[in-house]
Structure 1
Amino acid sequence: MTASPARVPCTIVTGFLGAGKTTLIRHVLQNAHGTRLAVIVNEFGDVGIDGELLRGCGVENCADEDIVELANGCICCTVADDFVPALDKILAREPRVDHILIETSGLALPKPLVQAFQWPGVKSRVTVDGVVAVVDGPALAEGEVTGDRAALEAQRAADESLDHDDPVEEVFEDQLACADLVILSKSDRLDEAARARVLAAVKAHLPRAVKIVPSEGGRIDPGVLLGLGLAVEEDIENRRTHHDGELDHEHDDFDSFVVELPAIASPDDLAARVEAAARAQHVLRLKGFAHVEGKPMRLLVQAVGARVSHHYDRAWEPGEARTTRLVVIGLKGLDRAAVETLLAA
């Protein structure tokens, strides 16, 4: 009997827009000393920019196809739709990658992403080697958790998938609550007094002993980040965040159901019906697939409130039932019959 291959370790790198995540990862790629790396990049506000910065490294052990960009929004809000397929793509690569780096959006909450590593289709193949939080040293020295709050809010406004709207301070605290290592970026721009203020501020939010490592220009020994071997997914429930209470009561506050429809005439027609239902019945989220008459491709439909997007994601498989199934989510008491009527109109 052939032994199952060891799980591929993944390092999750969190931190706000501009904190220095991409610079740090670029340095790790350039100094990996033969370790075959892959990267998943999720920086919605700068789609394409971070990926191109990393592809420009010219690193033999991280080819362009080993860098996967997630451009559909905040990774913790699109785990099933985007992150898992990205993992599948990377894990199918030959030769096999040794380690995966995951750069989250500046607004992503680490805990839901780590929890996805507990899913049956994921946990047998990958493990969370560690969670790294990159902290903007100069910003924190001035009492701010981000160096550009306006840019962060613009990123929030642009992300239609984002389903949490937290004060940035709470997101920062959640990042530190889940961190196994804190990188203090731009430390060369801190004098002794400023560095002391920053270290005190970070330690005040750390719930346990976590190493804080200063970094200049993203330069850090990759051995400090990689190979922690912590299997964080096995401990993540012990890391308390601002959203734990919400998660405990999630099913009490929301209703969800599936609406099945016949083949649709056009994507725009379905989008108009989804928008109408969302406006009239206060639908919070809708996602699913549709069969468009005469089309060999499956239509992916997603909506956040009345904002609807759609695109053909793949061809229907031979023998696959070509159906239209939409998952509808709203607050408790959502009028299912009214929603179904509007969607079927």
Structure 2
Amino acid sequence: MSRKIPATIITGFLGAGKTSLIRHLLANAGGRRLALVINEFGDLGVDRELLAGCGVEGCTEDDIVELTNGCICCTVADDFLPSITALLARPEPPDHIVIETSGLALPKPLVKAFGWPEVRTRVTVDGVIAVIDAEAVAAGRFAPDTDALAAQRAADPTLDHESPLEELFEEQILCADMVVLNKADRVDATTMERVRAEVAGHLRPLVRTVTSTQGGVDPAVLLGLGAAAEDDLDSRRSHHEEEGDDHDHDEFESFVVPLATVADPAEVEARIRATAAAHDILRVKGFLDVAGKAMRHVIQGVGDRIQGYYDRPWKPGEARQSRLVVIGQRGLDREAISAALAG
């Protein structure tokens, strides 16, 4: 086991704070060479760009592998395994591999991939970390909409599954070796205990939870768990396996909205809040070209919570573009959403 390179899988729903947690790991790596494998749902690679522009010494773009052909749980053979094999073939392999899954991915199929002969003797899953948005759980984002499910079952008597959001929430927690209750600064102590109790109802025995703000967890807590998760698959329940379902993402969709140069990012934030409320958008993220500013502006939104900041200067020769990726459940009115975001 000591000869194997440890890999940590970071899972969690859209906007939970996975990228923030990874940025914290990079900034506090303590000299360890970390390689990152990033997977996103959507055509705009925001998370890879954020990590590539993090400015952490020792973290280069060559250390970040982006998988763009769909959720990693559905493209293991075509995308993930070749990427891991390429990392292992480097003259100086990484000390630790950190994998950020799409917010819509199931972690168990990825853990299974580490049992494949190509990687089993070289890499072990040190741990699966589920990042949970404590505020979203408290607000009932992942609770089932019983009225909506009842209407669906009335229309289709064969339907017998949870809401897509609830299902993903449970699948990600059920596979975890540790849970990070993120955004602790946005809930009070009583609410956090309620969230902790709700999450505990889905945990496997002995799985611990920690709280964090902006993913600020000591790497010593998250790395070095020694879980060897690929040898412990039976304890990680999966509704899809038990029910014989194939996992796909038909319930969700994403698209990119191009914007003109922005005069004031606050105006875009206001449009995102209004549009998300009107169309039940799950996630908005992207970059803005702000007039008169030499730096790129990052904007990220989950519901009515919007975060914006300047992350790095535009590179020489780089096209200054304002683009947002929108993610939501199937049936979004793309034309109306694009018009509303454009202003």
TM class by smaller structure: 0.5 to 0.7
How many residues get paired? 230
Q: 1:193-342 counterparts in 2 under 5 A?
A: 193-247=190-244
Does the 8 A contact of 2:127 with 2:225 survive in 1? yes
Does the 8 A contact of 1:130 with 1:228 survive in 2? yes
Specify whether residues 231 and 166 from structure 1 end up closer, same or farther in structure 2 by C-alpha distance, changes over 3 A only: farther
Does the 8 A contact of 2:6 with 2:97 survive in 1? yes
Alignment pair present for 1:64 and 2:69: no
Specify whether residues 36 and 50 from structure 1 end up closer, same or farther in structure 2 by C-alpha distance, changes over 3 A only: same
SS at match of 1:243: helix
- Worse overlay, 22-31 or 90-99: 90-99
Q: For residue 6 of structure 1, what is the aligned residue in structure 2? A: 3
Specify whether residues 179 and 22 from structure 1 end up closer, same or farther in structure 2 by C-alpha distance, changes over 3 A only: same
Amino acid at match of 2:4: R
- Match of residue 88, structure 1, among 85, 93, 116: 85
Q: For residue 189 of structure 2, what is the aligned residue in structure 1? A: 192
Distance 1:70 1:84 in 2: 11
Distance 1:75 1:249 in 2: 14
Alignment pair present for 1:172 and 2:169: yes
Matched residues, percent identical?
A: 60
Specify whether residues 165 and 91 from structure 1 end up closer, same or farther in structure 2 by C-alpha distance, changes over 3 A only: farther
Does the 8 A contact of 1:136 with 1:145 survive in 2? no
- Match of residue 107, structure 2, among 105, 110, 118: 110
Structure exhibiting the larger radius of gyration computed from Cα positions: 1
Distance 1:248 1:165 in 2: 13
Gaps of 5+ in 2: 144-160, 248-343
Distance 1:12 1:137 in 2: 20
Per the TM alignment, residue 58 of structure 1 is displaced from its structure 2 partner at its CA by 2.4
Q: For residue 76 of structure 2, what is the aligned residue in structure 1? A: 79
Q: For residue 29 of structure 2, what is the aligned residue in structure 1? A: 32
**Residue-by-residue CA offset, 1:257-312 (whole Å, 9 max, x unaligned):** xxxxxxxxxxxxxxxxxxxxxxxxxxxxxxxxxxxxxxxxxxxxxxxxxxxxxxxx
Distance 2:20 2:245 in 1: 37
Distance 1:47 1:79 in 2: 20
- Match of residue 49, structure 2, among 48, 52, 56: 52
Per the TM alignment, residue 7 of structure 1 is displaced from its structure 2 partner at its CA by 1.4
Per the TM alignment, residue 5 of structure 1 is displaced from its structure 2 partner at its CA by 8.5
Distance 2:199 2:182 in 1: 12
- Match of residue 39, structure 2, among 26, 30, 42: 42
Per the TM alignment, residue 44 of structure 1 is displaced from its structure 2 partner at its CA by 1.9
Does the 8 A contact of 1:35 with 1:61 survive in 2? no
Per the TM alignment, residue 248 of structure 1 is displaced from its structure 2 partner at its CA by 9.4
Q: 1:139-154 counterparts in 2 under 5 A?
A: 139-145=136-142
Does the 8 A contact of 1:19 with 1:136 survive in 2? yes
SS at match of 2:74: coil
**Residue-by-residue CA offset, 1:196-218 (whole Å, 9 max, x unaligned):** 11011101111322111100111
Distance 1:249 1:76 in 2: 11
Specify whether residues 249 and 195 from structure 1 end up closer, same or farther in structure 2 by C-alpha distance, changes over 3 A only: closer
Does the 8 A contact of 2:13 with 2:168 survive in 1? no
- Worse overlay, 51-60 or 121-130: 51-60
Does the 8 A contact of 1:135 with 1:182 survive in 2? yes
Per the TM alignment, residue 62 of structure 1 is displaced from its structure 2 partner at its CA by 2.6
Alignment root-mean-square deviation, CA: 2.3
Q: 1:129-140 counterparts in 2 under 5 A?
A: 129-140=126-137
- Worse overlay, 110-119 or 164-173: 164-173
Distance 1:249 1:205 in 2: 22
Distance 2:63 2:14 in 1: 23
Q: For residue 290 of structure 1, what is the aligned residue in structure 2? A: none
Specify whether residues 219 and 76 from structure 1 end up closer, same or farther in structure 2 by C-alpha distance, changes over 3 A only: same
**Residue-by-residue CA offset, 1:13-66 (whole Å, 9 max, x unaligned):** 000110000010011001101000000000123632100110112233332111
Distance 2:236 2:121 in 1: 22
Distance 1:190 1:231 in 2: 34
Per the TM alignment, residue 249 of structure 1 is displaced from its structure 2 partner at its CA by 10
Does the 8 A contact of 2:178 with 2:209 survive in 1? yes
Specify whether residues 248 and 199 from structure 1 end up closer, same or farther in structure 2 by C-alpha distance, changes over 3 A only: closer
Distance 2:134 2:61 in 1: 31
- Worse overlay, 69-78 or 137-146: 137-146
Amino acid at match of 1:117: F
Q: TM-score, normalised by structure 2?
A: 0.63
